[in-house]
Amino acid sequence: MEVMKAANERQAAGKSVLHMEVGEPGAGPPRKVLDAAADVLRANNLGYTEALGIPELRAAIALHYRDKYSVEVPVERIVVTTGSSGGFLLAILAAFDAGDRVAVGVPYYPAYSNMLVALGIEPVFVVTGPQTRFQPTADVLAAAGPLDGVLVASPANPTGTMLSAETMAALVGYCGEAGVRMLSDEIYHGITYGERSSTALAHGQEAIVFNGFSKYFCMTGWRLGWMVVPEDLLSAVERLAQNLFISAPNISQRSAVAAFDCHDELEANVAGYARNRELLLRELPKAGLGNFAPSDGAFYIYADIGNLTNDSAGFCRRLLNETGVAVTPGIDFDAAQGAATIRISFAGAEGDIASAAARLADWLG
């Protein structure tokens, strides 16, 4: 956010900026979603909805799991949330007590630990690396001491790495045997470059699964997500949602029903990300940035800059000031090793990504 603020200030001053710092799709919402929103506005039916979401949207999400994953999810277990972030708050409050220990693989999306700490939960940071494709495994968790929960993300932010179906199944099995509550962040599902992402729900029904409309569906500002909740937590989640949020935004819910009928437009976006990814995988090594995590999905490259500096924040600041290219320092995602890494988002326009790669190469000389 600090990088984005500095980039916006530079842009407001009339200077060129190429945004590769923000995890936000470059494309806008699908056309059918915008048309549906216009219809909702004309109907002027914008009051509160049920806390768990409107029936039409919950049914559409259940059908999505059947069509995409061949997994049957009861509509009753689907909870529509105010962004996936709202879902995390509900799940953490419902599933854990103050003082509980929840494992988080490093590097990680910083909001995970921030929310856990704010709610009195102890994040247990488990170090990952190339040997586990920057993902926690059952063996890593078993060595972390007593745990009440684990939070995994596949595809992950910032690394873009994914859990294979086999590794996901092993994690689900381990959590079931050890009595560890599993939280699976699947917000980047649909944005993959090879193997398809595996949902935890394909391997068991006890995990809390999160997804939403911000990434694949390009609806970031609509603040709409969902989660699939085990039956034992559903009542608590519903009561918490009623008290904390009342409901997710009405217009976002009614419009999002149309999002599942926009396959061609959304897949075209993913094809654009794939071209940007290939461009960076080809050009970054030429600039001296050839060591990065496998970018299996999402729209990030997590690059090692240890051969250049051990001050990623300063590196990003100089890069922005001297070239107009905005990227994110790794210290956001890994307090111990992030001073030698950066996250590069390739969700923008293809021409901007190509220009940014050229500027970076010139700057590094």
Predicted confidence (pLDDT) per residue in 168-222, tens digit: 999 999 999 999 999 999 999 999 999 999 999 999 999 999 999 999 999 999 9
Residue 3 confidence (pLDDT) = 86
User: What backbone torsions phi and psi does residue 239 show, to the nearest 5 degrees?
Assistant: -65, -40
Domain co-membership, 183 together with 249 = yes
Domain co-membership, 162 together with 300 = no
Domain co-membership, 24 together with 65 = no
Measured at the alpha carbon of residue 217, what is the angle toward residues 55 and 171, in degrees to the nearest 5?
A: 85
Query: Do the bridges between strand 328-329 and strand 341-345 make them parallel or antiparallel, or are there none, so unpaired?
Result: antiparallel
Selection from 54, 48, 52 nearest residue 36 by Cα: 54
Predicted confidence (pLDDT) per residue in 69-97, tens digit: 999 999 999 999 999 999 999 999 999 99
Domain co-membership, 79 together with 205 = yes
Domain co-membership, 18 together with 96 = no
Question: In which domain, by residue range, is 56 found?
Answer: 31-260
Domain co-membership, 8 together with 145 = no
One-letter amino acid for residue 308 of the chain: L
Residue owning tokens 């409050």: 93
Domain finish residue from 231, 260, 289: 260
Instruction: Report whether pLDDT(150) > 80.
Output: yes
Domain co-membership, 151 together with 300 = no
Domain co-membership, 306 together with 341 = yes
Domain co-membership, 243 together with 309 = no
3-class DSSP state of 263: helix
Number of domains in the chain: 2
- What's the pTM? 0.96
* Mean pLDDT over each residue of the chain, to the nearest integer: 96
Domain finish residue from 238, 260, 282: 260
Domain co-membership, 215 together with 333 = no
Domain finish residue from 237, 260, 283: 260
Residue 153 confidence (pLDDT) = 98
215-228 as b/e: b if 16+ CB within 10 A: bbbbbbebbbbbbb
Q: Average pLDDT in the 229-257 region?
A: 98
Which CATH number does the domain housing residue 184 bear?
A: 3.40.640.10
